[in-house]
Each structure stands twice: as C-alpha cells, then as structure tokens.
Amino acid sequence: MRKFYSFSLLAFGLAMVAFGVFVMMNPELSLRVFTLFIGSLLGLYGIVEIVAFVEQRKVWNISFLFLLNGLLALGVSIFTFARPELAEMTYVFVFGIWVLVSAIFQMIAALSLRRIPGWGALLAIALVLFIFALVILLSKMAAAITVSVTFGIYFIAQGMALFFAWMLLRRFRTASSLRD
C-alpha cells in the first residue's frame, strides 16, 4: 500500500505540473473551460433550487424567490452552453467590473486610514487592482491570460507539493529501513 501511495503522489504531482503548464500555455482554452465549468455549476445549482422549492415549499414555506433564483441560475447555465463565446465576454466583463468596484472601495478605505502607518500599502494594492480591472475590461485576452496563469500556478504548486511529499515519503522509508 505504501508503494501504491508513493507512486500515486509522484504520478499526481507530475500530472498536476504538466496540467498547470498546459493551462498557462493555452489561455483561450482555459477561459473556455472555466466558463463552461461556471455554467455547469450554475446549472446544477439551478436544478437543486427548483427541486428544493417544488418539494419543500409546503414543508418549509420556502419563498417563491428560491424558485426564481433557480430558474435564473438554470437560464444562465443554458445561455453559457448555447453561446459560450458571449458567456466568456459577459463573465469577463462582470469580473472586471467587480475588481474595479472592489479597487475603488479599497482606495476609499486606504484614504480614510491615512493617519495609520501602512495605509499606503493598501492604497498601492488598490491601485494595482484598479489597473488590473481596466486591463481586463479592455481585453478579453488579458482576462484569459489571468485565468490561465492563476490556475496554472495553482496546479504547478500543488504538483510540486505532491512531488516533495513523494520525496519525503521515500526518505522516511529509507531512513526507517536503515534503523531496522
């Protein structure tokens, strides 16, 4: 069992690093997959909300808003799969607006904390986010690259962590066999 686990750590680690590199090298494909994943989650969520409303409305007195929420989520999911290129642009735009608004709120917070040492760091981060939001809003490709780099770094880091766990497990096994 230890050998199987050890091999699994190595195999998954290498696979995650390879996937992370692939994702970073294919930003448009990564954005499409990310968009379809969001569409899938929204579809499942919509179905759960609709079923919960139908089955539980008499038991829990669930609000009609749950049904509307489920129908909206299901509708966005259908839209995502019917028009993925338009869904990508919509999601990128919504994400860009969210980052922009968040950056503005952080700037306001930083400026209101001017008397406290370190407020400049918060302002600097807010300014970086503001510029990042503008880049996202001006270019779908910038958003695709952001998504792919973020996921790529995550998978590469996870893969490296599994690879290092594999190395430590091998060292532990070697050290314990030397003691015996």
pLDDT tens for each residue of 114-150: 888 888 998 999 999 899 888 888 887 877 787 788 8
Q: Note whether residue 59 is domain-resident.
A: no
3-state secondary structure of 116: coil
Strands (E) in 38-177, as ranges, are none
Residue 68 and residue 73: Cα distance in Å, rounded? 9
Query: What is the per-residue pLDDT across 73-113, written as a single tens digit (0 to 9) for each?
Result: 999 999 999 999 999 888 888 888 988 999 999 999 889 88
| Count of domains forming the chain | 1
Task: Transcribe 18-66 into DSSP letters.
Answer: HHHHHHHH-HHHHHHHHHHHHHHHHHHHHHHHHHHHHHHHHHH---HHH
Q: Note whether residue 19 is domain-resident.
A: yes
Q: Note whether residue 75 is domain-resident.
A: no
Q: Note whether residue 67 is domain-resident.
A: no
pTM above 0.75, yes or no: no
DSSP, res 127: H
Q: Note whether residue 127 is domain-resident.
A: yes
Q: Note whether residue 41 is domain-resident.
A: no
Asked whether the beta carbons of 137 and 99 are under 8 A apart, the reply is: no
- Domain residue limits at 127: 2-36+84-172
Q: Given pLDDT bands bounded at 50, 70 and 90, which one contains residue 176? A: low
Q: Note whether residue 104 is domain-resident.
A: yes
